[in-house]
């Protein structure tokens, strides 16, 4: 006979957003019993644990969007949380570099977005100031973003899990526990897992790369589908690290949906550069030959995938060249640091980002959180979700208060 657990709320997904949602709900309602289910053997195993570790400022996002509001608010709360709990972080600042006159108009738009979003400590800078901040960079102008930094996001997630179990009697984090199905019983739901059945009055799903599948299993329909894109990184060698002090980003190309390859000093040491963005044939496929028939079939039979490919064909081909050619990857990096040499970089890790696409092939650019009956689903939480995790958690708590009638 399988074990049956009973909780007021079950959160599916042990990344930073899932833990933040559980923590925020329990902080407002300490009497509730909240469970977090993570299928892997540790917290933050996928997107949270494979991102670049950057604390984003909020400068890139459309004014008035959830991304803009929650990133700026969440960044400030995240830094305060890290200070309070001794989590490794460094507000080191970054530069966004324009290398050609054609980039200046969009650079100014990014800067104006930052001002409209209330991002503090940002300024337009000239080539001389770029050199003072990052001596090996070659650019004609740029933006200094002083409030950007780096942080240990897995450390943030673990701390949230520790606080949940320590501060709230009856709340627990379960690892090696995969939500496999949902059986509704009117005023409660059974979440069927490989580690017993969890009965809950309410459900919150923050399943990242599987957010669409989990929502569908629970009974929530969405037109959007998750398509995975792998990002490959290179590490700078000891010789190469001398050419980078902190964080160096290009002006993003407004035609394409990603920020472009950049340089990031890591909070636990080292400097990495990347990522590219290539379609993956497995949602959790961190290797270049990773393959899942189910994942590939679902992605390639979704019409939005093909429309996205068609609309971004040149971008996609360039990204694949970067995935398999160190020479081509280096060429892109040299746009920012022309003196970079082949022995300055060495192939490193990879991450996979969940990108929600509409049937028309458009990337869902903003956070998407939906409610249905006794469930809340985080259907789209791309970057800067890690930076904004505490403010997203607060937004989920507010939605749960309203929709679930929590008291």
* SS3 per residue for 313-332: HHHHHHHHHHHHCHHHHHHH
What distances in angstroms separate CA 390 from CA 3, 21, 72, 265, 293, one per listed residue? 32, 7, 11, 23, 35
Q: What is residue 340's predicted lDDT score, i.e. its pLDDT?
A: 98
**Residue 352 CB neighbour total at 10 angstroms:** 23
- The domains located in the chain, with CATH, are 4-48+154-224+365-404 (3.50.50.60), 225-247+254-363 (3.30.9)
Reported as a pLDDT band with limits 50, 70 and 90, residue 351 is very high
Residue 267 in contact with residue 150, Cβ under 8 Å?
A: yes
Partners of 122 in beta bridges = 145
d(CA 137, CA 334): 9
Helices 16-28 & 389-404 angle (0-180, nearest 10): 50
95 vs 128: CA distance, rounded Å: 13
Residue 361: CA atoms inside 13 Å, Cβ hemisphere, count? 13
CA nearest to 144, candidates 160, 159, 128, 157: 128
- Using the predicted structure, report yes or no on whether residue 221 has a pLDDT greater than 90: no
State the Cα–Cα distance between residues 8 and 168, nearest whole angstrom: 13
Instruction: Compute the distance between CA of residue 62 and CA of residue 384 in angstroms, rounded to an integer.
Output: 13
What number is the average pLDDT over the span 153-172? 98
Q: What is the pLDDT of residues 190-210, one digit of tens each?
A: 999 999 999 999 999 999 999
Residue 255 pLDDT exceeds 80: no
Mean pLDDT of 354-377: 94
Reported pTM: 0.96
The answer to whether residue 152 scores a pLDDT higher than 80 is yes
Helix then strand then coil, in percent of the chain rounded to 5, is 35, 30, 35
Higher pLDDT, 221 or 31: 31
Interval 136-159 mean pLDDT: 98
Q: By percentage, how much of the chain surpasses pLDDT 90?
A: 90
Q: Is the pLDDT of residue 212 over 90?
A: yes
Whole-number pLDDT of residue 318: 76
Please give the distance of CA 328 from its chain centroid, rounded to a whole number: 26
Instruction: State in Å, rounded, how far the first CA of the chain is from the last one.
Output: 34
What the block records as the tokens of 50 is 């494979």
Residue 263, pLDDT score: 97
Separation CA 264–CA 52 (nearest Å): 7
- pLDDT score recorded for residue 2: 65
Q: Encode 143-176: b = buried (16+ Cβ within 10 Å), e = exposed.
A: bbbebbbbbbbbbbbbbbbebbeeebeebbbbbe
pLDDT score for 1: 45
Task: Work out the average pLDDT over 82-106.
Answer: 98
The predicted-structure confidence for 278-330, as pLDDT tens digits, reads as follows: 899 999 999 989 999 999 999 999 999 999 999 888 777 778 777 788 999 99
Residue bearing the bigger pLDDT, 365 or 20: 20
Summarised one tens digit per residue, pLDDT across range 21-73 is: 999 999 999 999 999 999 999 999 999 999 999 999 999 999 999 999 999 99
pLDDT top residue among 43 and 3: 43
């Amino acid at each position: 006979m399988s074990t049956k657990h009973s909780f007021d709320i079950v959160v599916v997904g042990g990344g930073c957003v899932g833990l933040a949602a559980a923590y925020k709900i329990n902080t407002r309602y300490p009497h509730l019993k909240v469970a977090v289910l993570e299928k892997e053997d540790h917290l933050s195993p996928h997107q949270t644990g494979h991102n670049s570790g950057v604390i984003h400022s909020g400068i890139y996002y459309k004014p008035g969007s959830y991304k803009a509001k929650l990133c700026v608010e969440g960044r400030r709360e995240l830094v305060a949380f890290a200070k309070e709990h001794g989590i490794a972080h460094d507000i080191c600042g970054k530069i966004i570099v324009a290398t050609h006159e054609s980039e200046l108009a969009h650079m100014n738009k990014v800067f104006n977005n930052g001002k409209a979003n209330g991002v503090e400590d940002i300024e337009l800078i000239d080539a001389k100031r770029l050199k003072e901040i990052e001596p090996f960079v070659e650019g004609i102008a740029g933006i200094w973003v002083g409030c950007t930094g780096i942080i240990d996001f897995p450390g943030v997630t673990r701390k949230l899990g520790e606080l949940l179990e320590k501060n709230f009697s009856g709340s627990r984090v379960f690892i090696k526990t995969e939500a496999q199905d949902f059986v509704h019983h009117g005023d409660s739901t059974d979440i069927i897992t490989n580690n017993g059945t969890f009965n809950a009055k309410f459900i919150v799903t923050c399943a990242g790369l599987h957010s669409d599948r989990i929502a569908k299993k629970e009974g929530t329909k969405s037109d959007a589908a998750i398509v995975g894109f792998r990002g490959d990184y290179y590490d700078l060698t000891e010789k190469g690290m001398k050419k980078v002090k902190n964080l160096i980003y290009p002006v993003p190309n407004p035609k394409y949906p990603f920020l472009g390859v950049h340089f990031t000093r890591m909070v636990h040491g080292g400097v990495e550069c990347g990522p590219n963005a290539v379609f993956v044939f497995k949602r959790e496929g961190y290797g270049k030959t990773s393959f899942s028939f189910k994942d590939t079939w679902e992605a390639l039979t979704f019409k939005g995938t093909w429309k996205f490919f068609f609309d971004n064909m040149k971008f996609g081909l360039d990204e694949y060249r970067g995935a398999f050619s160190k020479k081509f990857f280096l060429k892109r990096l040299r746009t920012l640091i022309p003196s970079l040499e082949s022995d300055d970089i060495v192939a490193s890790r990879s991450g996979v980002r969940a990108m929600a696409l509409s049937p028309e092939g458009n990337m869902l650019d903003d956070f998407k959180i939906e409610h249905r009956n006794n469930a809340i689903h985080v259907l789209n939480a791309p970057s800067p979700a890690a930076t904004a995790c505490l403010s997203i958690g607060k937004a989920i708590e507010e939605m749960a208060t309203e929709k679930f009638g929590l008291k």
